[in-house]
Chains A and B, each alone.
Chain A
Amino acid sequence: MEKKADQNRARAEPADAGTPQSLYVHVPFCVRKCGYCDFYSLAGATQDLMRAYVAAVEQEGGALPETPLRTLYVGGGTPTALPPPLLRRLLDGLRRRFTLGRPPATPSVPGGEAPEFTVEANPGVLDDALLDAMQDAGVNRVSLGVQSFHPETLATLGRIHGPDQALRALDLLRRRGTRHVSLDLMFAVPGQTLDQWLSDLRAAVASDVEHMSVYGLAIEPHTPLGRRVAAGDLAPLPDEAYAEMQMATRQALLAAGYEHYELSNFARPGRRCRHNLTYWHNRSYFALGPAATSYVGGLRETRIADVAEYVRRIQAGSSPVAETERLAGERRARETAILGLRLLEGFDVAAFERQTGFAPLHLFAEPIARHRGLGLLEVADGHVRLTPAALPVADSVLADFV
């Protein structure tokens, strides 16, 4: 069994795409599950389990090649649900294990970009001790799960924090001089009005963050929120309202000087999230932790979504991977296209062909022609991209590329 796991790991070594330069670490703990969340996380875990988890992640990480990383992202769940000493241990461990410096192989990166080290934080629990742990480990980007500045909206979402805590957390980050702050916001929440949403956007702009991830709420059937909707307790907003809020978001944030660079992401110039760009470029990345997905050498591996079982397997030296997927050439190219089209700049025709071996204008001739005809797609300056009109209906366009 152990041997087999080792072989698996050996085979997971990058074969074609070069060694990944990104790492995702999943922290599967929360203070409380939010009503809309269908990610894997555990509320109310014991400190023992958390400790075992951190040790297991360290052990799993120890098997990865010692390679310099350009981006490191610790998400969840809620990383800040870990007690400060454990968060510190986790982040320090990652820092020690991975050379967080400019990749030696790419000395010509302009300005010698520092690696991007992001940690997701919940405004409800963020405090000095946690921030110290992050700062000491070299975290330079904090993604704050604000979601809304309206108490009603936060209550509907089942968040643990209120608007004041969000403002306090932002203030805390600013005072520490955190270079790069990102906010998560959510629209199309049942009961939310367009006016409320516009005021959320104004508050977010006023906070002067570098980056915003703005999500339309997806109501998943197996969440508490989904069940309330199914029971008729809550009415989802109509599609028209969703589209309207999405367009209003774009207008407001463009006007405030943000670039709209991905369907749900906005950034000040030069402040795009490099880690997430890895996903949309369909480049490879490592991953650690329960439920985390890595993509190395064309092999996508998702770890088991069960902390205790993850820990047990790591301790036993067996593979924590529960699901694997390897796409053959054309399907992989198609996947690359649907990810690339999420970016407002689209995908680069020449780069696409280099990366996938398929000429996109040929492979996608039919859908490109159709959607250009409908004004939903454009081919310009060597890129294929959605037009702004396509943004509320992007999936209908992408479905023809997959």
Chain B
Amino acid sequence: MRPGLIRNFCIIAHIDHGKSTLADRILELTGAVDARKRKDQILDAMDLERERGITIKASAVTVDYEHDGERYMLNLIDTPGHVDFHYEVSRALTACEGALLVVDASQGVEAQTVANAYMAMEHDLHLVPVINKIDLPSARPEDVALEVEHALALSSNDCVFCSAKTGEGVADLLRAVVTKVPPPQADSEAPLRALIFDAEYNDYRGVIIYVRVFDGTLRKGQRVRMMGTGHQYEVQELGKFRPEPQVHAELAAGEVGYCVANIKTLDDVNIGDTVAEVARADVEALPGYRPPQQMVFCDIYPTASTDYSKLRDALERLHLNDASFTFRARNNEVLGFGFSCGFLGLLHMDIIQERLERESGVDLVQTAPTTSYEVVLHGGQVVRADTPSDMPPMAEWQEIREPLVRCNMIIPLESIGSVMKLSEQRRGAYVRQEHLGPTRVMLVVDFPLADIIYDFYDKLKSATRGYGTMDYELLGYRAADLVMVDVLINGKPAAALSFVSHRSTAEDRGRRILMRLKKEIPRHLFVVPLQAAIGARIIARETISAVRKNVTAKCYGGDVSRKRKLLEKQKEGKKRMKSIGNVDVPQAAFLSVLENQ
């Protein structure tokens, strides 16, 4: 097809603003799906996505559309809804020339609306603002159009008003796609260059990659090479989802489709990589590739140690579908065998954990999330440490750097005081604020990732009575005054409890941990000191006083069995504890520290 008749576009939106419903309506209106047979939200394949209203995997659907007597090919590229999948979103955006920016007519502009819109602008996409859900009684489409103008400098006159639910205005929207989104600049004669913008694993077909052909033509039987990995494959099948798969012999420049090429695992594929012809490998790779970067880490343990291998199998299976999280075996001195896992962000972590529990049936213990640090050693060597146990000793540090994120929060105007206060508590650095209308404001604050990784979102929600939304993007690593805090039980360090903290909050956090331990560790026959220390310097101290009374007064013939069983139970309880510095520490004590921050 002539590139002039192709439109590649995506829909971007804040969660629950109606992206999936709109996609369904577009499929119906273009005749790709029979309205009577449709399932809601066809593009969301997984139950979990549907339940959470989040699209995890991107996919692409091709529909035909008649306009002014011409037959257009519209490629709707679905993008993940959350900025945790920032990189995946950016690859999907690269495959498009335009984007529908969907905003809920009653909720208005939200944090992810802004984050997604900025990202689309960075990719030079033409944005079509869409005010959706105009059928709602609480809809305020004109206000929201003005919010779009204030927040994003997109003219309110360009907004398309629609209701994906009733179908009203959707035809206008399709017209806007054809008339406003530019066609791809494509040269079918040039050497092949296709962008892998997504991939998924299928039990029967192996890996299916989604590609956008920029130059040349991708053909069945062609020998291709992934320029990043260097792996070579023969193209076995090409096609498009309409939305059922439809086999094609080739995908020409400007087109979007899927490709099957006997690729075994997702680890073999890099999203963002360029597919070239083996015979013409001298081409330049498409720009922008980078490996996924895990920013959030936590340990996952099976509650029952016998479930370890079940958990490992489940992680391996999940990894086939999502190569962007990492896991490695870990042996915690108290919690036993488990895994250290890395995630793109907090939501990504939640999704993986939920899927793990659901798909494996294993009860999990999850430690509080941490982030990764860069340590510059005295020799100048830079070490990345994803968990405190990877951290080199403090004496070897020349400098330590932590990830810094830019966070935009959209909140009711009246909450600004409490959100500013919350931000200060989390070491936030104010950047700017923008009024989106008379009652809503966007606050931009830079935070150390470590300070918003745990319970910040919950706190923001309660500071804004549920109305606040947030999103963040990584700015990079920045040197900070961080320290490694050790926790000592009866003078012996409990390695599993060491943590990295900003110096200014180390004492507070240390004290909180000691209080938790004090609550959970039973009294012993001797006084047990608990300490938090930076190197040799004690920064906090608590004491567990000794047992004063534990004696059975009466023990005669009829009491012996019961009494022995009670003592056996005491002993069993001790056995399940971890002994540190002669102190029996119950698992619950570790969990009370590790699950919280």
Residues in A lying within 8 Å of B, measured CB to CB: 24, 26, 39, 215-218, 239-240, 242-243, 246, 263-264, 276, 278-280, 285, 287, 291-295, 300, 302, 325, 335, 338-339, 342, 370-371, 374, 376, 391-402
Chain B neighbourhood of A402, CB < 8 A:
564, 567-568, 570-571
Minimum C-beta distance from A337 to chain B (A): 10
Residues in B lying within 8 Å of A, measured CB to CB: 525-526, 547-558, 560-561, 563-564, 566-568, 570-571, 574, 582
Listed from nearest, the 6 A-B pairs whose CB atoms lie closest are A239-B549, A399-B570, A239-B548, A215-B553, A402-B567, A293-B558
21 A-B residue pairs with Cβ-Cβ distance under 8 Å, sorted by A, are A215-B553, A216-B551, A218-B552, A239-B547, A240-B548, A263-B552, A263-B555, A264-B554, A285-B557, A293-B557, A295-B560, A302-B558, A302-B561, A338-B564, A374-B525, A393-B525, A393-B550, A394-B550, A399-B570, A402-B568, A402-B571
Q: How far is the CA of A95 from the CA of B458 in the complex (A)?
A: 78
SS class, residues of chain A in contact with chain B: mixed
Chain A neighbourhood of B550, CB < 8 A:
392-396
Q: How far is the CA of A239 from the CA of B547 in the complex (A)?
A: 9
Chain A neighbourhood of B548, CB < 8 A:
239-240, 242-243, 392-393
Chain A neighbourhood of B547, CB < 8 A:
239, 393, 396
> Besides the contacts A26-B558, A394-B550, what 8 more A-B pairs have beta carbons closer than 8 Å?
A218-B553, A218-B554, A279-B556, A291-B558, A338-B563, A394-B551, A399-B567, A402-B571
Q: How far is the CA of A285 from the CA of B556 in the complex (A)?
A: 12
Given the known interface contacts A335-B564, A374-B525, A402-B571, the answer about A392 and B558 at a Cβ–Cβ threshold of 8 Å is: no
Check A279 against B555 for contact (C-beta < 8 Å).
yes
Q: How far is the CA of A217 from the CA of B553 in the complex (A)?
A: 8
Minimum C-beta distance from B527 to chain A (A): 11
Q: How far is the CA of A218 from the CA of B551 in the complex (A)?
A: 9
Chain B neighbourhood of A240, CB < 8 A:
548-549
Pick the contact of B549 from A278, A392, A398 — CB < 8 Å? A392
Minimum C-beta distance from B560 to chain A (A): 7
Q: How far is the CA of A395 from the CA of B569 in the complex (A)?
A: 12
Q: What's the A-B contact tally at a CB cutoff of 8 Å?
A: 104
Pick the contact of B560 from A246, A291, A335 — CB < 8 Å? A335
* B552 (CB) vs chain A CBs: closest residue: A395
Chain B neighbourhood of A300, CB < 8 A:
560-561
Pick the most buried of A215, A300, A370, A399: most chain B CB atoms within 10 A of its CB: A399
Check B557 against A391 for contact (C-beta < 8 Å).
no
Given the known interface contacts A242-B548, A300-B560, A335-B564, the answer about A342 and B555 at a Cβ–Cβ threshold of 8 Å is: yes
Given the known interface contacts A335-B564, A399-B571, the answer about A287 and B557 at a Cβ–Cβ threshold of 8 Å is: yes
Minimum C-beta distance from B575 to chain A (A): 11
Chain A neighbourhood of B568, CB < 8 A:
402
Minimum C-beta distance from B565 to chain A (A): 9
* A292 (CB) vs chain B CBs: closest residue: B558
Q: How far is the CA of A39 from the CA of B478 in the complex (A)?
A: 70
Pick the most buried of B525, B554, B558: most chain A CB atoms within 10 A of its CB: B558
Q: How far is the CA of A302 from the CA of B562 in the complex (A)?
A: 12
Check B555 against A395 for contact (C-beta < 8 Å).
no
Q: How far is the CA of A279 from the CA of B563 in the complex (A)?
A: 13
Check A376 against B567 for contact (C-beta < 8 Å).
no
Q: How far is the CA of A402 from the CA of B570 in the complex (A)?
A: 9
Given the known interface contacts A264-B554, A279-B560, A335-B560, the answer about A400 and B571 at a Cβ–Cβ threshold of 8 Å is: yes
Minimum C-beta distance from B299 to chain A (A): 32
Q: How far is the CA of A170 from the CA of B552 in the complex (A)?
A: 28
Q: How far is the CA of A394 from the CA of B568 in the complex (A)?
A: 14
Chain A neighbourhood of B558, CB < 8 A:
24, 26, 39, 291-293, 302
Pick the contact of B567 from A295, A302, A398 — CB < 8 Å? A398
